[in-house]
Amino acid sequence: MKVLVIGSGGRESTLVWKLAQAEEVTELYCAPGNAGTACYAENVEIPESEFDQLIEFVGEKEIDLTVVGPEQPLVDGIVDRFVSHNLKIFGPTQNAARLEGSKVFAKQLMSEYDIRTAPYVICEDRTGLEEVTNSKPFPYVIKVDGLAAGKGALVIRNEEDLAGAVFAIYEENRFGDAAKAVLVEEFLEGEELSLFALTDGNDYILLPPAQDHKRIFDYDEGPNTGGMGAYAPAPLGTPEIIKKAEERIIRPVLKGMQERGMPYRGVLYCGLIIHEGEPWVVEFNARFGDPETQVVVPLIKSGFADVLLSIAEGHLKKERFELSDRYAACVILASKGYPGVYEKGKVITGIEELYKSSKAIPFLAGVKHDGTHYLTTGGRVLGVTVISNSLNDAVYSAYNYVQIINFDGKHYRTDIGMRALKKGRFSESESMSAR
């Protein structure tokens, strides 16, 4: 099987790493990829937005399966374009990707199918938003309807937050067309859980539940990021919670999408908050999460490529699919300034050493190799994943290996997985020699 992966982040490094291990995968490409994907696949210099060029490349190389990493090409209709050329591609169609691309669409589907989500009001303009927020007690959440690179949810705890949100949306025009409609929703207390279903629109396979860490600083302080670390399986996702999520969320969503004439094929990412023992939906995404992929995909023992291909062909085949019973943890190293304006071009040391280790797996994201050095090119630079027999060892080992990597301005959270372990944070003095 010849496979092309589209994207250039840590998620794509992980997908490519996994697919490279599959016997049935004979050729592997990544467009545009990064220095990490280059270790396992041939990088192809085509941007993810250039559908015509991608289609031409796939035709030329006779690629059997294309796997789409990021949301933007999905929302822009890459799957529809590939399908119209009779090419097999893993991901939802443009219509189905509205589950992520329009929060109003997702909310309306959830209301219709009785899926638990925070109560909400839709506002069409500034006056509408001000009317709703005028007398609304804090806290609550303001969300823009469209894609906003994970930065479109603003938690409003006081007048200052509210003024900041109104300024960003209506004066600064930070979200552009994505903010044509805006949602105001109730704030849900609880812990977050990410649950992924690989689905052909009807049948599905669940991957181990993961927990991401969205805020930039320890103990969930500071602004939201794409995600600063993850672990799986998260004990928060008890069999009871998972059963509720399947019965009350995943099956109704798949049914709802079928009934709307837009069956959902691909990975359905359910962003949940576990509130008083019940899973509530915070968001749906139409793609694998990043960094959750870096802990969930390594826990797949076999059959990943077959499952992706079978979904692209329309009928999920799960016979060969097997999950490991181990644990995985991933700590993300970010550039100074992220998620705001960050520095680039810093020399990274320690990556080769990490590649040689038998235990840690570096999943590179914002990294390039200039022929001599690895250099930072992004906000989230790389993730260090460890798979182990215990969550405790996975987390602590990941932290030990993180010490090997250095670059100017390196920032990481020291409390990844600590909530599940009922511990505080990792300190460098706990770091043993990890080599």
By CB under 6 A, name the binding residues for ligand GLY: 150, 212, 226-227, 285, 289-290, 292
199 or 285: CB nearest ligand GLY:
285
φ, ψ at 418 (rounded to 5°):
-70, -30
d(CA 158, CA 143): 16
Residue 141 contact, options ligand GLY, ligand AMP, none, Cβ 5-8 Å cut-off depending on partner type = ligand AMP
Binding-site residue total for ligand AMP (CB under 6 A)? 14
Residue 201 contact, options ligand GLY, ligand AMP, none, Cβ 5-8 Å cut-off depending on partner type = none
Does 218 bind ligand AMP (CB under 6 A)? Our answer is no
273 or 367: CB nearest ligand AMP:
273
Centroid of chain to Cα 367: 18
Residue 290 contact, options ligand GLY, ligand AMP, none, Cβ 5-8 Å cut-off depending on partner type = ligand GLY
Task: Quote the tokens at residue 108.
Answer: 């309306």
132 or 206: CB nearest ligand GLY:
206
Each as own residue / partner, the long-range contacts of residues 39-42 (CB below 8 Å, 24 or more positions apart, any chain) are: 39/355, 40/13, 40/16, 41/5, 41/16
Among the listed residues 296, 139, 125, the one whose alpha carbon sits nearest the alpha carbon of residue 207 = 296
Is the separation of the CB atoms in 61 and 40 below 8 Å? no
Enter the DSSP assignment of 183.
Answer: E
Does 339 bind ligand AMP (CB under 6 A)? Our answer is no
Give the per-residue contact string, 157-196, with ligand AMP (x = CB under 6 A; - = no): ----------------------------x-xx---x----
Residue 32 β-bridge partners: 7
| Shortest spacing between CB 258 and ligand GLY, in angstroms | 25
265 Rama class: left (phi>0) / alpha (psi -120 to 50) / beta: beta
| Shortest spacing between CB 96 and ligand GLY, in angstroms | 17
Residue 152 contact, options ligand GLY, ligand AMP, none, Cβ 5-8 Å cut-off depending on partner type = ligand AMP
Does 113 bind ligand AMP (CB under 6 A)? Our answer is no
d(CA 168, CA 109): 28
Question: How many H helices and E strands in the chain?
Answer: 15, 25
281 or 309: CB nearest ligand AMP:
281
Angle at 194 between CA 192 and CA 196, to 5 degrees: 165
| Shortest spacing between CB 385 and ligand GLY, in angstroms | 14
Binding site for ligand AMP (CB under 6 A): 118, 141, 143, 152-153, 185, 187-188, 192, 214, 224, 271, 282-283
